[in-house]
Amino acid sequence: MRTKSDKQWAFVGHIIMICLTICAIAPFILLITASLTEEATALRDGYSFFPAKWSLDAYGYIVKQWAVIGRSYLVTITVTAVGTLVGVSISAMLAYVLSQRDLPGRGVILFLITFTMLFNGGLTSTYIIYTQVFHVKNTIFGLLLPNLLLNAYYVMMFRNYFENSIPKALVEAAHIDGASEMKIFRHIIVPLSLPMVASVSMIVALMYWNDWTNGLYYLSSNSKLQSIQTLLNNMNENIKFLQQNNNPALSGAAVNIPSATVRMAIAVVGIAPILLMYPFFQRWFVKGATVGAVKE
Amino acid sequence: MKKKKRIIWKKYIPLYIMALPALVYVIINNYMPLYGMQLAFRELDYSKGVFSGKFVGFQNFKFLFATKDAWMMTRNTVLYNLLFIVIGTVFGVTVAILFNEIRCKIAARIYQSAILIPYFMSMVIVSYLAFAFMGGENGFINNTLLKLLGKEPISWYSEAKYWPFILLFIHTWKGIGYSVLMYTVRLLTINDEYYEAASLDGATKWQKIWHITLPFLKPALILMTILSVGRMFYSDFGLFYQIPMNSGHLYNVTTTIDVYSFRALMNLGDITMASATGVYQSAVGFVLLLGANMLVRRFSKDDSLF
Amino acid sequence: MMKRFLSLLLVAVMLLSAAGCNSRASSDKGSTPTPVGESSGQSDTDETPISKGQINFDEEPYTITVCYPVMGVASPDQELIQEKINEIAIKEINAYVQLEAIDLFSMSNTYALKASSQEKMDLIMLMPGGNYLTTFVNTNMIVPIDDLLDEWGPVIKETAGDWLPVGQFLGKQYTVPQNSTTRTMGYGFNVSVPLCEKYNIDIESIRSLEDLEAVFEIIHKNEPDITVLAPESTGGSIIGPVLGLYDTLGSRTSRMVIQEDGSLKVVLDMESPEYMEAAKRVRDWYQKGYISKDVITTQEAGSTLLEAGTCFATAIASVGASGGTIGAGVEGRHVVFESGLPLLRTADSQLFMWAVPTTCTRPEKSIQLLNLFNSSAELANLFFHGIEGMHYEINDKGAVVPFENAGWVNYWPLVGDAFKLLASKGDVKDGTVEEFRQKEAEFNKLTKISPAYGFTLDTTDIKTEIAACNAVGDEFGAAIGNGAVDPEVEIPRYVQKLYDAGVQRIIDEQQRQLEAWVALQN
């Protein structure tokens, strides 16, 4: 039953959330209008919510490159999907194992995992291991494996969740009934952690989607497997490089540098798919999945 | 004696197998390349193979401490991290709790989606947008907002004093969606019956939150805090480098260890110095993490990391 | 469904990589490696059975992996160009060429990774070379090529001729600099032609900075919405052409001064009276409103603004023979003063340099290839412009007009004798190629050569100080250089911070090395 106090709190909640929503959406709308502004207007007036002149030129520029962009979209989507699926699965499994307090060697494994969060061998040796020992250069594994598949941070988050938010009684009951660990994992743990699994999946998916360094290091410049972020980011970085080196002989290439509005359009193109994908995840962030499983 | 041992292992083998893929990956991805850390202590010599250069001890670390700026950048890094941890946590938990009070499902979904949008944007884009707001001549704030209020335009990128707040704002703005999500996911698991029982006992809203909600969040909060402490000497490079647009006036207030190292090395391209920076940050972070973990262990053993 | 798609993808990828392995681009196994020319100082040792300068056509062809810079991704027709190159290469030097495109901004990282993991690299371009020369030599990334040039590179020595000194370090030749038809560029201003015409300003009559200021005043009064003056590129400083050109000897903060007795002295640029004076003048312009308040933070290059008509003039470092700019928009005309006339310094010629990495097993092949590029105009044009008819056409003036969306785009002339390359329409504009070459020759006559041309600073002992001073330079340089702060207050602070960062050590070291180098030259 909702009391007056509940309603007051809800009201305050609404106010705060509306403020936050405006703060969050306004810049995004600005991004979109900026990408639809006519070039000269943008140079003269800066970006605005109501540009004096609209234009689709920025997107036209992108469409011209569509062959390359289309293919890179495909690669990015594949890598994101596979990476997220595999990565989240093995993270959650490891976390589940680590959440069993009586596991021998648990402390050691925990320490080893934590250690990796802080100490890194560095790019050079990682690169050598992956390319010389495992030969992933110019393969799709070069995009999937380095650094993104498992993140100790999320293993810890999962473990924390499993230990504290899943009623122990359920797991014990299943053990007594003789269920195997995998069964328990698949039929009890995962369904009860759907919100957590969904959030972590979304975040991991975002990391894969936004990653451009794997493509940069593990693919040659003429590889067909360039992801969309690598393409877009390389463009930005090359622009910045030319600017920093400030040498006119180099800037002959500046002829082909996309202008401000095109860079905005590129950003929109880079974000759009993941925004569209988001509602798909959102349905799991709701109440109801876990309640009522245990009668106190 | 023998019988006991067999039972124990048999019970745990399926678990070890479950954990195997992840552990194999960790070994390949994180442990095998660890030998690369020696790069921080060596000179570069490609003719001998990159890891066989002359051993030079801590020479590559000198540039991190040699200047007066060294103290400044360390101070900035640590203070900003403390600020972010405290404000971020308090604000995030508050918003999450309030958000949880909203009953209208449609509104809740809209809010949640909206506040996640900043999280998806890269810092480069955010820096362009920030410029659109704070630019001296055409910026939204100067052009529109301040004009309406009848105030003089402010040269945002030249006044260092505003920037701790600006950076705090942008950091929070970008991360609030994620924080709220992480907390909400846990708040969802709290059985309504607890609240109902508390109501029957005559508890006020504040009491309910203090005695039910917050304790449920405690394990997550402790975990996230410990991990943040471990990253005390790291910073979000995009935030501190891209957003201030490399404006010289702001250097003293916005330079962190990562930014300083990047600026210094950009023209030198010295990977040993870059490696030294990484080792420095890792080592300090590790010590801090151990410290934090031990502290937590004293008070509640279950919540510690290991 | 997903599973099927994935396995298909996997198969596709495996096929791709298998194809890559089987192509003839795998390294040869048959020939005996000739000794690497590291033992310079000895005369030709002829340890190989091949007589000087003659290429062995009896062995298996070697594949030379050439790393060259691109902006972003390799052009789609790279394979095609590579094939055409090979047609010539196999005939002339019994070798195949494999082109490998390197993303420009991550060149440093990419070379480091490739060298660390021993990936095949035979000929690499350093761009901008000045950034890499000393570091690569000191870390043994590249090898000296004196002997190799003697034996295999006669044409290179002819073509690169005057340019060769900048590729030397510590007395040995390490790189081959690419020549270009314009020796170096000067500092000046690029002013908008339509705006000058509108207010009846005769560009030819602008002879001094004072004349220019008068023009600025007119424009600012009549066109308050337009930025009067901006730096050419983002991050640049307007103070450049005001200060004029001088040799900085490889560090951002030094200035070389030629004493009355002809000896060379290194001073701290920021302490010089010229710097303060120039900074005050720019500050004056900023306060008068000629320079945008956003100058340090804007992401738009001044040149873009000028083309769009929102800026009147830009401070440029690209004064060349063309005399002005014609882009898609507004036409610009160069205004140059005496102090901005081109001054040839080491770094100016080091823009594009070819080097041979230590990991290369057949360095003589790399030099042979470079030699071939320099002697064969056909090959050089192929690499620069592409295939005629497919990527470009030649107009009636003899200039190259590239096709839109051509499958092969190369922004910079990376190989060959620049004088043998076809000229592009972008340079020649509406005149003939001869006329343009004539203009370039005249422009080159204006070039002064710095006494320290050929001197490269060895930064090994002063790495720390350079890193620290660079950081200070980032903090103050752009703000002072664009007039955004009061020089009377900021320059002393700048100087003090530089001394705190150890700039005196840099200056002392430069002086020492410079004197040693001068002694060596005599």
Calculate the average pLDDT of chain A: 82
A124 and B36: CB-CB below 8 Å?
yes
Eight-state DSSP code of residue B34 = G
DSSP annotation string for C481-502: HTT-S-HHHHHHHHHHHHHHTT
Report the C-alpha gap between C126 and C129 in whole angstroms. 5
Is position C118 within any domain? yes
A289 vs C435, which has greater pLDDT?
A: C435
Cα-trace Rg, chain A: 24
Give the mean model confidence (pLDDT) for residues A17-30: 91
Of B47, B69, B136, Cβ closest to residue C140: B47
Is position C382 within any domain? yes
Question: How far away is chain C from the Cα of A37, in angstroms, using its nearest Cα?
Answer: 14
* Interface test with chain C among B39, B267, B273, B275, by most C beta carbons within 10 Å: B267
Q: Which of B24-28, C7-11, C22-26, C298-302 has the highest mean pLDDT?
A: B24-28
Is position C479 within any domain? no
Calculate the average pLDDT of chain C: 83
Model pLDDT for residues C124-154, shown as the tens digit of each residue: 999 888 878 888 898 889 999 999 999 988 8
Choose the weakest-confidence range: A47-51, C83-87, C217-221. Answer: A47-51
The CATH homologous superfamily for domain B58-303 is MetI-like (1.10.3720.10)
With a CB cutoff of 8 Å and minimum separation 6, the contacts of B5 are none
Give the mean model confidence (pLDDT) for residues A205-210: 88
| pLDDT of C462 strictly over 70 | yes
| pLDDT of C6 strictly over 70 | no
B18 and A47: CB-CB below 8 Å?
no
* Interface test with chain A among B9, B11, B16, B26, by most A beta carbons within 10 Å: B26
Give the mean model confidence (pLDDT) for residues C256-262: 85
Give the rounded distance of the alpha carbon of B293 from its chain centre: 17
Say what the pLDDT of residue C288 is. Answer: 93
Say what the pLDDT of residue A248 is. Answer: 64
Q: Residue C105: give its domain's CATH number.
A: 3.40.190.10
**Residues from chain A contacting residue B191 (CB–CB below 8 Å):** 291, 294, 296
Say what the pLDDT of residue A215 is. Answer: 86
Its pTM stands at: 0.82
Is position C468 within any domain? no
C135 and B268: CB-CB below 8 Å?
yes
| pLDDT of A186 strictly over 90 | no
Question: How far away is chain A from the Cα of B71, in angstroms, using its nearest Cα?
Answer: 22
Say what the pLDDT of residue C26 is. Answer: 33
Of A216, A241, A243, Cβ closest to residue C104: A241
B151 in contact with A, Cβ within 8 Å: no
Domain ranges of chain A: 13-55, 56-282
Domain ranges of chain B: 58-303
Does the structural domain A56-282 have CATH classification 3.30.390.50? no
Q: Which structural domain range is residue C145 located in? A: 56-181+346-445
First to last CA, chain C: 76
**Residues from chain A contacting residue C25 (CB–CB below 8 Å):** none
Report the C-alpha gap between A171 and C353 in whole angstroms. 67
Say what the pLDDT of residue C16 is. Answer: 39
Say what the pLDDT of residue A252 is. Answer: 59
B126 vs A257, which has greater pLDDT?
A: B126
| pLDDT of A61 strictly over 90 | no
The pair of structure tokens assigned to C499 is 């001394």
**Residues from chain B contacting residue A10 (CB–CB below 8 Å):** 101-103
Q: How many cross-chain Cβ pairs, A to B, lie less than 8 Å apart?
A: 267
Say what the pLDDT of residue B268 is. Answer: 64
B84 vs C304, which has greater pLDDT?
A: B84
Rounded percentage of chain C residues whose pLDDT exceeds 90: 32
3-state secondary structure chain A: CCCHHHHHHHHHHHHHHHHHHHHHHHHHHHHHHHHCECHHHHHHHCCCCCCCCECCHHHHHHHHCHHHHHHHHHHHHHHHHHHHHHHHHHHHHHHHHHCCCCCCCHHHHHHHHHHHHHCCCCHHHHHHHHHHHCCCCCCCHHHHCCCCCCCHHHHHHHHHHHHHHCCHHHHHHHHHCCCCHHHHHHHHHHHHCHHHHHHHHHHHHHHHHHCCHHHHHHCCCCCCCCCHHHHHHHHHHHHHHHHHHCCCCHHHHHHHCCCHHHHHHHHHHHHHHHHHHHHHHHCCCCCCCCCCCCCC
A280 in contact with B, Cβ within 8 Å: no
C61 in contact with B, Cβ within 8 Å: no
| pLDDT of C38 strictly over 50 | no
**Residues from chain A contacting residue B19 (CB–CB below 8 Å):** 93-94, 97-98, 109
Number of domains in chain C: 1
Model pLDDT for residues C376-433, shown as the tens digit of each residue: 889 999 998 889 888 888 888 888 888 877 788 888 888 888 888 888 776 777 778 8
Which residues 29-88 in chain B show a CB within 8 A of chain A? 29-37, 39, 50-51
| pLDDT of C8 strictly over 70 | no
Is position C200 within any domain? no
Is position C64 within any domain? yes
Say what the pLDDT of residue A286 is. Answer: 62
**Residues from chain C contacting residue B267 (CB–CB below 8 Å):** 131, 466, 470
List all chains that touch chain C, counting a touch as 3 or more CB pairs closer than 8 Å.
Answer: A, B
Question: How far away is chain B from the Cα of C104, in angstroms, using its nearest Cα?
Answer: 14
Give the mean model confidence (pLDDT) for residues C334-356: 90
Model pLDDT for residues A239-248, shown as the tens digit of each residue: 777 766 666 6
Say what the pLDDT of residue C44 is. Answer: 36
Residue A255 burial by CB count (10 A; 0-12/13-18/19+): exposed, middle or buried? exposed
With a CB cutoff of 8 Å and minimum separation 6, the contacts of C519 are none
Give the rounded distance of the alpha carbon of C188 from its chain centre: 19
What are the pLDDT tens digits along chain B (306 aa)? 444 555 567 778 888 888 999 999 999 999 999 988 888 898 888 887 778 888 888 888 887 887 777 888 889 999 999 999 999 999 999 999 988 888 888 888 888 888 988 988 888 788 888 888 887 777 888 877 887 888 888 888 888 889 999 999 999 999 998 888 888 888 888 888 888 888 888 888 888 888 888 888 888 888 888 888 888 898 888 899 888 887 778 888 998 988 887 776 665 667 888 888 889 888 888 888 888 888 888 887 777 776
Model pLDDT for residues B67-81, shown as the tens digit of each residue: 777 888 889 999 999
Give the rounded distance of the alpha carbon of B250 from its chain centre: 22
C112 in contact with B, Cβ within 8 Å: yes
C49-65: b (≥16 Cβ within 10 Å) or e: eeeeeeeeeeeebbbbb
**For residue B50, what is the nearest residue in chain C, using CA coordinates?**
C116
**Residues from chain A contacting residue B112 (CB–CB below 8 Å):** 282, 285
Say what the pLDDT of residue C309 is. Answer: 86
* Interface test with chain C among B50, B60, B64, B253, by most C beta carbons within 10 Å: B50
Using an 8 Å Cβ cutoff, are A208 and A222 in contact?
no
Say what the pLDDT of residue C10 is. Answer: 47
Say what the pLDDT of residue A244 is. Answer: 66
B120 in contact with A, Cβ within 8 Å: yes
Minimal CA–CA distance to B261: which of B272, B248, B250, B247?
A: B272
Say what the pLDDT of residue C13 is. Answer: 42
Choose the weakest-confidence range: C29-43, C100-114, C276-290. Answer: C29-43
Q: Which residue has the tokens 């005695």?
A: B211
**Residues from chain C contacting residue B125 (CB–CB below 8 Å):** none
B264 and C132: CB-CB below 8 Å?
no
Choose the weakest-confidence range: A145-149, C9-13, C201-205, C300-304. Answer: C9-13
C131 and B269: CB-CB below 8 Å?
yes
Of A94, A128, A278, Cβ closest to residue B22: A94
* Interface test with chain B among C253, C463, C470, C493, by most B beta carbons within 10 Å: C463
Of C101, C116, C300, Cβ closest to residue A222: C101
| pLDDT of C9 strictly over 50 | no
C230 in contact with B, Cβ within 8 Å: no
Is position C60 within any domain? yes
Is position C158 within any domain? yes
Which residues 109-138 in chain A show a CB within 8 A of chain B? 109-126, 128-129, 133-134
**For residue C130, what is the nearest residue in chain A, using CA coordinates?**
A245
C116 and A224: CB-CB below 8 Å?
no
pLDDT band at C216 (very low <50, low <70, confident <90, very high): very high
**Residues from chain B contacting residue A31 (CB–CB below 8 Å):** 121, 125, 129
Say what the pLDDT of residue C389 is. Answer: 87
pLDDT band at A255 (very low <50, low <70, confident <90, very high): low
Of B50, B137, B248, Cβ closest to residue C476: B248
pLDDT band at C99 (very low <50, low <70, confident <90, very high): very high
First to last CA, chain A: 21
Using an 8 Å Cβ cutoff, are A84 and A208 in contact?
yes
* Interface test with chain A among B6, B25, B46, B243, by most A beta carbons within 10 Å: B25
| pLDDT of A253 strictly over 90 | no
Continuous H helices in C376-422: 377-385
Element (H, E) at C331: strand C331-335
**Residues from chain A contacting residue B114 (CB–CB below 8 Å):** 20-21, 24-25
| pLDDT of C12 strictly over 70 | no
Say what the pLDDT of residue C123 is. Answer: 94
